[in-house]
Amino acid sequence: MTAAVADAHDHHDDHGPAKGIGRWLFSTNHKDIGTMYLVFSLIMFFIGGAMAMVIRSELAIPGLQFVHPEFFNQMTTMHALIMVFGAVMPAFVGLANWMIPLMIGAPDMALPRMNNWSFWILPVAFGILLSTLFMPGGAPAGGWTMYPPLILQTGDAFPFLIFSVHLMGLSSIMGAINVIVTIINMRAPDMSLLKMPMFVWTWLITAYLLIAVMPVLAGAVTMLLTDQFFGTSFFLAAGGGDPVMFQHIFWFFGHPEVYIMILPAFGVVSEIIPTFSRKPLFGHDSMVYAASCIAFLSFIVWAHHMFTVGMPLTGQLFFMFATMLIAVPTGVKIFNWVATMWRGAMTFETPMLFSLAFVFLFTIGGFSGLMLAIAPADVQYHDTYFVVAHFHYVLVPGSVFAIMAGAYYWLPKWTGHMYNETLGKAHFWASTIFVNITFFPMHFLGLAAMPRRIPDYSTQYADFNTVASIGAIGFGLSQLLFVWVLLTSKKGEKATAEVWDNPPGLEWTVPSPAPYHTFETPPKLNESHGFH
């Protein structure tokens, strides 16, 4: 493999990273910004996780023990907002910042100053959101979906909630524009669109989804704001509006949003599984078409989140079948990953373990999604713990495991050292066991009709809730192992440029750690990088 980057000695006049805090505040370097996104999302993951611990402690046994019901509802609302917008989305943007330029042979992101801006909006947005916990009336407690009229009863926190959502949207839109411009205009000369690695492809599609739906969310929350303060009646029935319309607009954003959180995860595991199976990705182009199909279908299935609001039969049928149709392209992806592994010389390093768990556990979440798609059955499942089990299966062992897999996979490229494999595997096994102990019993609770977002429950639900709470505490503590891995990540042996056994992709042609500036001259693609 040829070193695509000139030796660092040739660049004596070139500036490295700036010194001190200024390096981070004013950075326009995709690697620095990627690192900041990832660290930020890890911090949010622990803050949101701490809220989950409050929720599960309260639910460990029947009755009210630790917190006031109103505070419990603030916890469920804030946990969701922080995990969705603060942990999962920024983590994928961080991976995109770090890896997309390296994967397509670009020197940096196309719009480096905007990149800095889109990151630094996030701490402000979440500072505002977290500050609502200390306001009169407390943090928002009406659920992350912000349905009116309930959400309009939020205290002083209400306008802060709206503005923080605006800022998150602004940050995502700027990040998405940056990703698209980078991918479209800055690829290495011989990299045609269909030669792009899957992670780049899934991010290109995700970025378009973001641009299409984040403004719709911004619009929906703006209408909430004007309803509350400027006398409009978009969602107020007394003034001729309709609260159900909010649900339609919200889920028109909300359903593509769930694919925003999973498509980059598909991309990450599509990079990892070929490396550790020592085979090229099976059906690369069909993966691209499948991801595009999923993106398109995500716009026409939103009302399956609201089967119980009352809908004409034809509407229910349409949304039911359109939703089930998504299982087809998703199935294509699952089968392609399995086919990639088929007769491969597989090894099971930590990134591969997380990817395998992703494929298996995400599929479980996909199947419970199919059950929820059945309109008549959904009337039973709606707003129960079955829904909680479903979306946690696709988000935790789905998105979060893919992020973890990506972090372990590229960590040696970032730090220049191998992480502690034993600790990594311990982190994997603890996470996988506890995530199932946490969320699997929730299926049973949901089928027995335990409602979501309630701090207390009937005693018949007691045992499964105790099991879930034990699992949740275990899962939360296991994540400290990941922090330990990160803190000790520079103590391992030096990583080679390739890190793994002949992995595909241009990112492995630069030294480890990746120099501050890479690909100042565009690389040539050849077969040894996995391009044909």
Partner 1 sequence: MPDSRANRSLIAQLLVLVVGSFSFGVFLLPPLYDVFCDITGFGGRTNSEAAVVAEAPDLTREVRIEFVTSLNEYAQFEFAADADSMTVHPGKMYFATFTARNLSDESKVAQAVPSVAPNTAAGHFTKIECFCFTSQEFQAGEKRPMPLQFIVNPELPDYVDTITLQYTFFDTARLAANTEN
Beta carbon of residue 29, minimum distance to partner 1 (angstroms, whole number): 15
Q: Which residues contact 502 (CB under 8 A, 6 or more apart)?
A: 278, 528
Decide if 333 is catalytic: yes
Any catalytic annotation for residue 452?
yes
Which CB sits closer to partner 1, 133 or 152? 152
CB of 110 to partner 1, least distance (A): 6
**255 belongs to the catalytic site:** yes
Of the pair 67, 244, the CB lying nearest partner 1 is at 244
Query: Is 2 among the residues known to form the active site?
Result: no
Could you tell me the smallest distance in angstroms from the CB atom of residue 457 to partner 1? 25
Nearer to partner 1, 51 or 210 (CB): 210
**Complex with partner 1: residue 62 or 215, whichever CB lies closer:** 215
Q: Which residues contact 271 (CB under 8 A, 6 or more apart)?
A: 197, 198, 199, 406, 409, 504, 505
Which one of the listed residues 27, 76, 154, 270 is annotated catalytic?
270
Known catalytic membership, residue 392: no
- Whether residue 378 contacts residue 308, with contact meaning beta carbons closer than 8 Å, is answered with yes
User: Which residue in 24, 37, 144, 410 is the catalytic one?
Assistant: 144
Q: How far apart are CA 321 and CA 269, in angstroms?
A: 28
Kindly state the smallest distance separating residue 496's Cβ from partner 1, in Å: 32
Nearer to partner 1, 122 or 306 (CB): 306
Closest distance of CB 308 from partner 1, Å: 13
Token pair listed for 308: 């119980």
Residue 182 contacts residue 139 (beta carbons within 8 Å): no
State yes or no: is 305 an active-site residue.
Answer: yes
Cα angle 480, 486, 487 (rounded to 5 degrees) comes to 90
* Separation of alpha carbons 336 and 89, rounded Å: 25
Distances (CA, A) of 146 to 14, 299, 311, 325: 50, 20, 21, 28
Among 76, 77, 154, 330, the active-site one is 330
- Is 171 in the active site? yes
**Residues at the interface with partner 1 (CB under 8 A):** 110-111, 173, 176-177, 180-181, 184-186, 211-220, 222-223, 227-231, 233-234, 236-240, 242, 244-245, 248-249, 252-253, 310-312, 315
* Minimum gap (Å) between residue 387 Cβ and partner 1: 23
Residue 211 CA: distances (Å) to CA of 123, 176, 219, 258: 21, 7, 13, 14
Q: Which of 24, 27, 76, 108 is catalytic?
A: 108
**Main-chain dihedrals φ then ψ at residue 478, nearest 5 degrees:** -60, -30
Residue type for position 136: P
362, burial (CB in 10 Å: exposed 0-12, middle 13-18, buried 19+): buried
Q: Which two tokens stand for residue 261?
A: 């959180």
> Whose Cβ is closer to partner 1: residue 316's or residue 469's?
316
**SS3 of 29, please?**
coil
Which residues, in sequence order, are CB contacts of 197 under 8 Å at separation 6+? 103, 104, 267, 270, 271, 504, 505
Q: Which of 172, 350, 509, 512 is catalytic?
A: 172
Q: Assess whether 108 carries a catalytic annotation.
A: yes
Please report how close the Cβ of residue 238 comes to partner 1 at its closest, in angstroms: 3
79 is catalytic: yes
176 vs 411, beta carbon nearer partner 1: 176
Which member of 333, 390, 413, 427 is catalytic? Answer: 333
**Catalytic member of 31, 255, 284, 390:** 255
**Closest to 401 (Cα-Cα) out of 486, 472, 475, 464:** 475
The verdict on whether 259 is a catalytic residue reads yes
Q: Which is nearer to partner 1, 129 or 176 (CB)?
A: 176
Told to judge if 58 belongs to the known catalytic residues of this protein, a careful annotator would answer no
CA 115, 203, 408, 431 torsion: positive or negative?
positive
Could you tell me the smallest distance in angstroms from the CB atom of residue 233 to partner 1?
Answer: 7
Q: What is the dihedral angle through the alpha carbons of 144, 83, 267, 319, rounded to the nearest 10 degrees?
A: -20
Cα 529 to Cα 418: distance, rounded to the nearest angstrom? 21
Instruction: Decide if 427 is catalytic.
Output: no
* Consecutive H or E run containing 318: helix 313-325
**For residues 28-43, b (16+ Cβ closer than 10 Å) or e, as one string?**
ebbbbbbbbbbebbbe
Active site residue ranges: 79, 108, 144, 171-172, 255, 257, 259, 270, 304-305, 330, 333, 452
